Amino acid sequence: MDIAWPVGYNPTIMHGIRPLLWAAVAIALSVRLTAQAPPQTGQYDRTQITAGGILYGQCVACHGPNGDQIPNVDLRRGQFPTVVSDADLVRLLATGKPASGMPSFPMLRTDEVTALIAYIRSGFDAMGAAMKIGDPARGEALFSGKGGCATCHRVNGNGPYSATDLSEIGLIRKPTSLERALVDPTASIIPANRSVRAVTRDGRTIRGRRLNEDYYTIQLIDEQSRLVSLAKADLRSFEVVQTSSMPSYATTLTADERADLIGYLLSLKGR
């Protein structure tokens, strides 16, 4: 049942399911409020999303049922004029943006603010996932520092070419798929980004990222960032590697650090 259908979208239907809805919310809130431990996955949990859905009723008059009624703002798709991280959203709710007509909501409790952010980050989908989005500046530091991402990935003309160029990753990936890629790279690599391994007849191994291939030849950029074209007839073996050469960050980065990294990646929208 669509318990994530929280706000006056269709009064007739809403009337019918309202008792059910309130029951669900009551259960959800009680669960949420008794289990105060922060989530470890970098995601908001479903009870938070559900509770946020109820709270969104206060926003619907201006933002609309789909969150896209204000020009240049699309809450469901995560499009904001200035907001990037969750912390930005917390600040915005606390202070409002009087110049553009956004009121402040000082009456909201911290857990209610969190719930509202969870609902927004879920894309208004109670059955979906809602990623925490951290601070892009801290994320950038992790990208070139502790995370070691910059040793393989290239951004805005800097870095090696062996892994995919991330200059526009913020335009083409959602937070949830970025989190999945960080936690389980092999499961989430898209087939076109798989690396290839070729062994020449003289036993030399060439690894790289495939750029183009046909029946007789393969074009790749190797780990030394060289454009290489190989004739398959000159190879002893050739395979598309099913595992990602990227390490998992499930344990080497904390959930908050991954959220920061995701905040940075989402800010990469090309130039």
Partner 1 sequence: MKKLTKLFVGLLLVAATYRLDAQVTADRILRAADEPQNWLTYSGGYASQRYSLLRQIDTTNVKNLELKWMMQNQVFGPWETSPLVVDGIMYLTQRPNDVIALDAKTGRMFWLYRYTNSGRQTVCCGAENRGVAILGDRLFMGTLDAHLVAIDTKNGKPLWNVQVADDKLAYSITVSPLVVKDKVIIGVGGAEYGIRGFVAAYDAKSGREVWRFYTIPGKGEPGIETWSGEAHEHGGGSIWVTGSYDPALNLTYWGVGNPGPDYNPDQRKGDNLYTDSVAALDADTGKLKWHYQFTPNDPYDYDSVQVPVLADLMWKGSMTKAMLFANRNGNFYVLDRENGRFLSGTPFVKVNWMSGWDEGGRPILTPQPPGMSTYPGNQGGTNWYSPSYSPRTGLFYVSAWENYGSIYRKENTPYQAGRRFNGGGFQVTAPNPDAPGMRRYPINVWTDAVGRGAVIAIDPKTGQPKWKFPMYDVTDGGILTTAGDVLFTGNREGYFHALDARTGNVLWKSQLGGAIMSAPVTYSVDGKQYVIVNSGNVMATFALRE
- Rounded Cα–Cα distance for residues 151 and 223 (Å): 11
- Span from 4-12, 19-27, 197-205, 237-245 in contact with partner 1 (CB under 8 A): 197-205
Strand partners, 260: none
One-letter amino acid at 248 equals: S
Q: Does residue 228 touch partner 1 according to CB under 8 A?
A: yes
Q: Does residue 68 touch partner 1 according to CB under 8 A?
A: no
* Torsion from C-alpha of 177, 180, 184, 189, nearest 10 degrees: 0
- Span from 108-116, 160-168, 242-250, 255-263 in contact with partner 1 (CB under 8 A): 160-168
Interacting residue with partner 1 among 227, 236, 237, 247 (CB under 8 A): 227
Q: How far is the CB of 155 from partner 1 (least distance, A)?
A: 11
Q: Helices (DSSP H) in 56-198: which residue ranges?
A: 60-63, 86-95, 110-121, 136-144, 169-172, 175-183, 185-188
Q: How far is the CB of 265 from partner 1 (least distance, A)?
A: 17
Q: How far is the CB of 225 from partner 1 (least distance, A)?
A: 6
Interacting residue with partner 1 among 154, 174, 180, 194 (CB under 8 A): 154
Q: How far is the CB of 172 from partner 1 (least distance, A)?
A: 15
- Span from 8-16, 102-110, 194-202, 256-264 in contact with partner 1 (CB under 8 A): 194-202
* Cβ proximity of 207 and 195 under 8 Å: yes
- Rounded Cα–Cα distance for residues 204 and 207 (Å): 10
Q: Does residue 216 touch partner 1 according to CB under 8 A?
A: yes
Q: How far is the CB of 136 from partner 1 (least distance, A)?
A: 22
Q: Does residue 225 touch partner 1 according to CB under 8 A?
A: yes
Strand partners, 14: none
Q: Does residue 221 touch partner 1 according to CB under 8 A?
A: yes
| Number of neighbouring beta carbons within 10 Å of residue 113 | 18
- Rounded Cα–Cα distance for residues 252 and 243 (Å): 19
Interacting residue with partner 1 among 165, 184, 223, 256 (CB under 8 A): 165
Distance of CA 14 to the CA centre of its chain: 31
Q: Does residue 204 touch partner 1 according to CB under 8 A?
A: yes
Q: Does residue 233 touch partner 1 according to CB under 8 A?
A: no
One-letter amino acid at 146 equals: K
Q: How far is the CB of 221 from partner 1 (least distance, A)?
A: 6
- Structure-token pair, residue 152: 């393989």
- Structure-token pair, residue 224: 């030394």
With left for phi above 0 and alpha for psi between -120 and 50, is residue 225 left, alpha or beta?
left
- Structure-token pair, residue 125: 């989908």
- Span from 4-12, 47-55, 186-194, 226-234 in contact with partner 1 (CB under 8 A): 226-234
One-letter amino acid at 243 equals: T
Q: Does residue 163 touch partner 1 according to CB under 8 A?
A: no
Residues forming contacts to partner 1 in the complex (CB under 8 A) are 154, 157, 161, 165, 167, 200-202, 204, 206, 211-212, 214, 216-217, 219, 221, 224-231, 234, 271
